[in-house]
Structure 1
Amino acid sequence: MKIFFTLALIISSTLVLAQKIKILDAETREPIPYAKIILNGKDYYKNTEKDGEIILEKDEQISSVEYFGYENLKVEKYQSVYFLKPKFTEITEVQITKPKYQNNIKIGSLKTYGSFGGGINHTSSALLGKVITFNNEKNETLFIKKISFKTISYKPNTVIRIMIYENVNGLPGEILQSEEITCKAGINKLHEFFPKQMRFPKEGIVVGFEWILNENNLYETTMKMKGSNEYKKVFSFYPQISGSKEDTNKDRIIGVYNEGKWHFQSAEDSGYVKIKYNPAIQLELTN
């Protein structure tokens, strides 16, 4: 009887300390992997796993759920399952032009130097971006054929979210496309993303990487404490984004999630110019 009572107490304590929820598509009832879970009073968020599930700690109360292509869901009471509705945008006219694929233009370098890591200990939700422009002297219609980048990960099947934004005066504007990329384990592994028939705007774009903050990507590392020679164990998130030294700081964008929204600025404006390299991203354009 004592053993049974002790086991029951452990199970009930676990339920009090953590809450398991699941995010589903409201129409298909399929799980939504890597959905963003916004938490009340926290300057960080978390993401669901591949199966759409997540376990929150006792002090983490869900405020809303977000995922690109779906309507944001404001949470008013606790449930074990939440449904997101797909977002549909009405447009008056669609003009489709098939790419000719006669000319290919490559912008950016994949020659690697250094790397960029993800958030630390769930206390920092970070986004890394790069402004990419092209002087289109011929003023011809150009399409984004491929975006290539490299990652570092010592765990298999880690996931990063690649975002394509409008370039508005050197900062991210509206999100144009978004997709999760499953990354290979290893150092400076090449990955390719093929946007869906997307024109390259004359103002250029911002390519951003948003780390997925879940158990699948989590790993333990050590960090040297500022102003001392001591090292502390911390948790961070794979994959790391490989860097390239051939670019300048002014093209690098830093995003910090705070008070329920992203705040963007260039590396130069942030004053954090210690890192002298940018994410290694190569854009291939075609006509």
Structure 2
Amino acid sequence: MKNSILILFFFVLKTNVGFSQTKAIVIDSITSKTIPYVNIWVENENNGTTSNDYGEFIINETDSTKNIVFSAIGYKRETVQISQIKNIIYLKPETTVLEEVVLTKKKESKKIVIDKFKKSKIHFYYGSGKTPWMVGKYFPNEDKYSDTPFIKEFAFLTNSEIENAKFNIRLYEYDSLNFIGNSVYDKNIISSVKKGKKTTIIDISDLNIRFPKKGLIVVIEWLIIESNKREYFYTSKGIKKKNTAFEPMFGAVAKDTNKYAMVYRGKWMKTFKNTNQSIKNYKDKYSELAVSLTLTN
């Protein structure tokens, strides 16, 4: 018998019939270069988008008094009222003060894999509708990692109906008060996935990133860009309807606690319990991003 699969999409329901559109381009205030893949949200709401490869974006919102929040790795967060957005949004590069580190040469003679998942056990997927969102997983630091301090690679379970669908990886230090602390790496890690259900390996060994002392949060971010767009039909109350999703989808494991799982929907929050779940293994459990981490020396 086929296993059932549940996909959790993040959609935004609106009662408004018409939308007003705001169009602009995001630019680096120092270099004047466009900034791709900026996370763009209506402040305190589940409405947003992503700037495309050329830094361009369109956002739908009827209330011109609301604020738009612009967030991108390596740049200061910017909040602008919709009525003040003209043609260009400038973001200022952010300087992060890092702790002093001792440089050592990597040997890669040792490695350790953390939280390896079983592909056959996963029947729940995170997916994105028309609004971008992020899902994060916290890896606490442990003494046994001291001999393998460098992050070598990540493994995700992905499912995509589009070849080479892109997504972004953000890496943060853990913060016990705010979940998300300082960025561990100040650039986007744009990655792509193959079509179908795959274990997607992302090797970042060339970045020489050390596992943070306070623990690591791995965040995947959907990109609301045309090349990721997928339109499909579904039936509701006997009526055939058309909808839009953005690939890829990411597998999730069922957990008894949400201690290590978080989502971003306008703000960071812990995941909710799946009380209405139809899949037995996930009912009354918390969903946690299926990602394993490989460390090396």
Query: Which TM-score band applies after superposition, normalised by the shorter structure?
Result: 0.7 to 0.9
Deviation (angstroms), 1:117: 2.8
Contact 1:45 1:213 in 2 (8 A): no
Which of these residues, 221, 246, 252, is aligned with residue 237 of structure 1? 246
Deviation (angstroms), 1:69: 0.4
Q: Which residue of 1 aligns with 2:35?
A: 32
Distance 2:126 2:233 in 1: 13
Deviation (angstroms), 1:285: 0.8
Distance 1:182 1:138 in 2: 28
- Count residues with an aligned counterpart: 261
Highest Rg: 1 or 2?
1
Deviation (angstroms), 1:70: 0.8
- Does the residue aligned with 1:100 lie in a helix, a strand or coil? coil
Q: Which residue of 2 aligns with 1:50?
A: 53
Taking structure 1 as reference, are residues 78 and 130 closer, same or farther at Cα in structure 2, changes over 3 Å only?
A: closer
- AA paired with 2:221? E
% same residue: 24
Distance 1:252 1:271 in 2: 13
Distance 1:204 1:92 in 2: 14
Distance 2:241 2:75 in 1: 39
Q: Does 1:181 align with 2:191?
A: yes
Q: What TM-score, normalized by structure 2, do the two folds share? A: 0.72
Q: What TM-score, normalized by structure 1, do the two folds share? A: 0.74
Taking structure 1 as reference, are residues 217 and 107 closer, same or farther at Cα in structure 2, changes over 3 Å only?
A: same
Q: Which residue of 2 aligns with 1:13?
A: none
Q: Which residue of 1 aligns with 2:4?
A: none
Q: Which residue of 1 aligns with 2:295?
A: 285
Distance 1:92 1:169 in 2: 18
How big is the alpha-carbon RMSD for the aligned residues of Structure 1 and Structure 2? 3.4
- Does the residue aligned with 2:127 lie in a helix, a strand or coil? coil
Q: Deviations over 1:59-108 (max 9, x none)?
A: 27562322110122332522212222211234584432222322111122
Q: Which residue of 2 aligns with 1:105?
A: 112
Contact 1:146 1:284 in 2 (8 A): yes
Gaps of 5+ in 2: 1-18
Deviation (angstroms), 1:256: 3.7
Distance 1:165 1:240 in 2: 22
Q: Deviations over 1:111-132 (max 9, x none)?
A: 322242333343xx53222233
Q: Identify which range, 185-194 or 27-36, moves more after superposition.
A: 185-194
Gaps of 5+ in 1: 1-15
Contact 1:25 1:32 in 2 (8 A): yes
